[in-house]
């Protein structure tokens, strides 16, 4: 038997206890200082409810746009050989690698009314930065790598023989894509989208600059926590934090169920 079980488990449990379990216990316990009524009142306050709706709604929408974008990128990167492919592939991780505050101010500069793309959009009457559209753009930016990286390994391993068989049997390119490839990709796509969604819901740095932070209009849920902390409303901040964790957890359970369902169908 190998040595070191007690030592390594001891270090692991100590670190987990101090860094993860103790702080999360505070998050789980402190909202209830307000009582059940107080927690409900804190969460249903119009400004808080609007921010929660905005964060979860826009995160879902951003994930929906990330689906076709991610499919496009994963497909071209795994199926075609072209000059610059490996560089393009490495750059997919840029939204991970770029610190969020950096991405935040850069996106704001681009989509602000006087920015290169913002001014173009302004000309057709669309306000990008300081509006929900700006938040949406930032969430698409940070979510993209999750979807591409979830799809790539599956596309790589997808049996070429199955596609060839479908082709020999007379399936058109479109039929093959919809009937053969997409069902096989579905579970990975859902898991990529759920990762992107979870990240988007909690995202702060890349969103807070472009959002404009107008109460009831463009305030995201994490910002509400920051504002409540600035007012020393610890219990209120904890209530919003706990609600975010709970809603995110609930949606992930739903998504997992969907994924199992799709995986079952893909195998048939």
Partner 1 sequence: MRTTHLAQSRLPVLAVLLVLASVAVMTLLVLLPLFTVFHDALSKGVGKYLASIRDPDAISAVKLTLLVAAIAVPINAAFGVAAAWCVARFEFRGKNALLTLIDLPFSMSPVVSGLVWVLLFGAQGWFGEWLIDHGIKVIFATTGLVLATVLVTFPFVARELIPLMQDQGSDEEVAALTLGAGGFTTFFRITLPNIRWALLYGVLLCNARAMGEFGAVSVVSGHIRGLTTTLPLHVEVLYNDYDFVGAFAAASLLASLGLVTLVLKTALEWRHAGELSAARRH
Tell me how far apart the alpha carbons of residues 225 and 203 are, in angstroms, rounded to a whole number: 12
> Does 141 participate in binding partner 1 (rule CB under 8 A)?
yes
For residue 56, the minimal CB distance to partner 1 (Å) is 12
Interface pattern 39-68 for partner 1 (x via CB under 8 A): ------------------------------
User: Could you say which of 37, 46, 99, 267 contacts partner 1 (CB under 8 A)?
Assistant: 99
Q: Which of 52, 128, 196, 238 binds partner 1 (CB under 8 A)?
A: 238
Pick from 51, 147, 184, 248: which binds partner 1 (CB under 8 A)?
A: 248
Distance (Å, whole) CA 135 – CA 75? 27
- What value does the CA radius of gyration of the chain take, rounded to a whole number of Å? 22
Give the footprint of partner 1 on residues 178-197 (CB under 8 A). Answer: none
Q: In the set 42, 186, 190, 225, which binds partner 1 (CB under 8 A)?
A: 225
32-36: Cβ within 8 A, 24+ apart = 33/235, 34/235, 34/236, 34/239
Q: Contact between 125 and partner 1 (CB under 8 A)?
A: no
Q: Which is nearer to partner 1, 132 or 236 (CB)?
A: 236
DSSP string, 162-230: HHHHHHHTT--HHHIIIIIIHHHHHHHHHHHHHHHHHHHHH--HHHHHHH---TTTT--HHHHHHHHHH
- Within 161-180, the residues that bind partner 1 by CB under 8 A are 167-168, 170-173
């Amino acid at each position: 038997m190998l040595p070191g079980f007690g030592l390594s488990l001891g270090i692991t449990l100590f670190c987990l206890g101090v860094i993860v379990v103790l702080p999360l216990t505070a998050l789980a316990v402190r909202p209830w200082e307000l009582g059940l009524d107080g927690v409900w009142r804190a969460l249903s306050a119009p400004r808080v409810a609007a921010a929660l709706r905005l964060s979860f709604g826009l995160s879902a929408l951003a994930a929906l746009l990330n689906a076709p974008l991610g499919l496009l990128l994963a497909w071209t990167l795994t199926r075609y050989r072209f000059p610059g492919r490996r560089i393009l592939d490495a750059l997919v991780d840029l939204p991970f690698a770029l610190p969020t505050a950096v991405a935040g101010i850069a996106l704001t500069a681009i989509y602000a009314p006087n920015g290169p793309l913002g001014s173009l959009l302004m000309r057709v009457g669309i306000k990008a930065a300081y509006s929900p559209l700006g938040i949406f753009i930032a969430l698409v930016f940070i979510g993209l790598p999750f979807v591409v990286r979830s799809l790539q390994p599956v596309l790589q391993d997808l049996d070429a023989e199955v596609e060839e068989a479908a082709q020999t049997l007379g399936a058109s390119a479109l039929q093959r894509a919809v009937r053969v490839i997409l069902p096989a990709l579905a579970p990975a796509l859902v898991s990529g989208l759920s990762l992107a969604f979870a990240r988007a819901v909690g995202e702060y740095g890349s969103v807070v600059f472009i959002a404009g932070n107008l109460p009831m209009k463009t305030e995201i849920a994490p910002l509400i926590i920051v504002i409540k902390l600035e007012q020393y409303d610890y219990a209120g901040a904890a209530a919003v934090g706990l609600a975010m964790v709970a809603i995110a957890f609930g949606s992930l359970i739903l998504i997992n169920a969907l994924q199992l369902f799709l995986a079952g169908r893909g195998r048939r």
